[in-house]
Each structure stands twice: as structure tokens, then as C-alpha cells.
A and B are shown apart, each in its own frame.
Chain A
Amino acid sequence: NAGVTQTPKFQVLKTGQSMTLQCAQDMNHEYMSWYRQDPGMGLRLIHYSVGAGITDQGEVPNGYNVSRSTTEDFPLRLLSAAPSQTSVYFCAVRRLAGGTEQYFGPGTRLTVT
């Protein structure tokens, strides 16, 4: 079992470019989410999904889009990258029931110049 995988590991973008960060899981967990981690700010929730076809905004959704067409995949799209989106992005999954453990992917380090 791979658990939670993220691609790419590193990415450099120019301002205004678009890209998609990939997140995939083989744990069959319903809940998937995206966080960004910035120095001094901790981890902040961008978007989350409780199942295929259902997504919702987190704490810092502006500039990001998500969709969830399958249980396994939850891509995060940056439509027009900005330097403020330079960060480390983590995908996390867990079962939907409230008391369950959360599992994180290895992260994608994104730099926008």
C-alpha cells in the first residue's frame, strides 16, 4: 500500500502560470483535504472533500480550485500562480467518522517567482 502520494515533490512556477498538484490515496478513505504550511503560520486548510463529487472551502481557499471525481484522487489547481502561494502543500486523508486518525502525504514544495 502506498498510502497517500503527492506529485510533484518540487515545482517552480512563474507568476501567472497554472498547475495542478496531484494527491492520490489507496486507503479508501472518504475525507481528503489540502493544507499549506508556511513558516510562523502553521498548517492551514485550503479545501476539503467528504466524498466523490463533494468539496468545500477551508480557511484559505482563494486562488485554488479542487474537484473530486473519484474516491482516490483529489487534485489542487492553481489557476494563476502568485508569489504568495509559495509554500509547502500537504494532502491528508482519513475516514469520515469523527474520531479517526489523519494520514498525510509527503508534501509538494512550490515556489512562485
Chain B
Amino acid sequence: KQEVTQIPAALSVPEGENLVLNCSFTDSAIYNLQWFRQDPGKGLTSLLLIQSSQREQTSGRLNASLDKSSGRSTLYIAASQPGDSATYLCAVIYGNNRLAFGKGNQVVVIP
């Protein structure tokens, strides 16, 4: 069974610092990995999708890396802003079109 772990569960950083969020998965046979953002009481918004053949993906201040062999992905958010405060979830698609989620990194950016 695929298990996805996100560490740390929660973190606070001062505005302007870079954010580093970690995601690990137990089965390296994945099709892709997707990072989402979730604001309190809201749905999930897709941030980045990394195909299994890719090493990284970038969008604006966001960069996500993928190391399939070690079962890890890292989401970097440069120059954090208070508006980046949210929960960040990673998910992998594997096996028979199954999707497994981590429990999220809850981020607070302090002005």
C-alpha cells in the first residue's frame, strides 16, 4: 500500500523567508506527483504536477522537485508572503489509477 508522509505537519516562518516542504512516499512506482494548496474551509487548488519522468517543475515562486528512486518530493516557495499561509498537500498517482495523499503541511507566514 502506498503511504505518503509530509514533514513537518505544521510550521511558521517570518515573511520573506523561503519555505521548504517535504513529501515522501513508500512505493516509487508512481505515475506523477501533484502539490495542492488548501485554504481553511475551501477545496484543493492544484499548484504543480510533476510527471514521473521529470525531476522538477516550476511556476512563479514555486518549485517542486521529484526524486522517484528515494521516494521524495520537495516544494520550495521563495520569498514567502502572508498570502502563502495555507495547508499544502502532496499526492501521488500509482498502481491502478489510485491516488494517495499526505496529511499536509500547515504553513503560517508571519508578517
Question: Could you list which residues of chain A lie within 8 angstroms of chain B, going by C-beta atoms?
Answer: 31, 33, 35, 40-43, 45, 48, 50, 90, 92, 96, 98-107, 109
Contact = CB atoms under 8 A, between A and B. Distances in A.
Contacts of B43: 90, 104-107
A107 B38 CA distance: 12
Contact of B32 (A41, A42, A98, A104): A98
A40 B103 CA distance: 7
B32 A99 contact: yes
A99 B31 contact: yes
Contacts of B52: 99
B61 interface: no
B77 interface: no
Interface in B65-111: 89, 91, 93, 97-99, 101-104
B9 to A, nearest CB: 10
A19 B74 CA distance: 40
Given A90-B44, A106-B43, A43 B97 contact: no
